[in-house]
Amino acid sequence: MKLTISVAQVRVTQSRPEENLRKGESLIAEAARRKSRLICFPEMWTTGFNWAENERSCRDHEKMIDRIGELAKRYGIWVSGSTLALNDQGKVSNTHILFGADGSRRGTYRKTHLFSMLHEERHVAAGNVLSVVDTPWGLTGLAVCYDIRFPELFRSYALMGARIILSPMAMPHPRLEHWKVLVRARAIEDQLFMAGANQVGSEDFGPGNTLTYFGHSCIIDPWGETAAEAGETEEELITATVDLARVDDVRAKMSVLKDRRPELYKL
């Protein structure tokens, strides 16, 4: 089955959800015009990472999430991205929601690996459940940014039958080379498609702590080849049509998943 995907590489304006959503709508409309069935946005794409403000506004932000669903329905396209949300216990979480083209929340994944280098665990509650979503193009796994460094999560999705994994990102310099290797490695070792949507621009985390995101949003196929890739500094909407049958072809030619020896692994 062929799937046309758009990935939105954007500059997120911190604590300005209305502004970010207006930009998001224009990109959703353009992706729909390109006949994409799915558009992927970066991590925390409606608010950025001003945690103090996010904690104050999180409950109101639930209305913003509903509006994203309305846009998905209006333009008839699936929408993926990580946003500020409350979990089932009413705690702030970094949440990847996949909306169907009917506007419904078809999949929810709360970031399980929190980025201790920037003390994310002080501000959000970690998720405890993986998420594979049944979509018209096949089983789809949901991840968020730092998860890319934990291959066990992606292997779990592959063993569950995922054919593509969507990963909203907010990855900054100086880790560009890490990103290039990791996203391709996850695609190759698990023999599936990877779609990574990263931010561009800079974000201020306080005195002496400004991060600059490096873009390079991409779609990588199960052989590690690049279907589409954005540049390093500019906002872009990249689009590619991929054939999900390539997952079966690659797995048939090189039976990595079948050749595993899980009885030997001490995890």
Prior bond to 17 cis, omega within 30?
Answer: no
79 close to 110: Cβ distance less than 8 angstroms: no
**Single-letter amino acid code for the residue at 119:** H
Q: How many CB atoms sit inside 10 A of residue 178's CB?
A: 12
DSSP, residue by residue, 3-25 = EEEEEEE-BPPTT-HHHHHHHHH
Which listed residue (43, 120, 229, 236) is catalytic?
43
Residues ≥6 apart with Cβ < 8 Å to 6: 27, 30, 31, 34, 36, 38, 39, 40, 237, 238, 239
Q: Count, in order, helices (H) and strands (E) of the chain.
A: 5, 14
Q: Is 145 a catalytic residue?
A: yes
Residues ≥6 apart with Cβ < 8 Å to 263: none
Which listed residue (40, 58, 145, 218) is catalytic?
145
**Single-letter amino acid code for the residue at 86:** L
Q: Is 266 a catalytic residue?
A: no
The pair of structure tokens assigned to 47 is 């608010």
Q: Is 111 a catalytic residue?
A: yes
Which listed residue (40, 111, 229, 236) is catalytic?
111
Residues labelled catalytic:
43, 111, 145
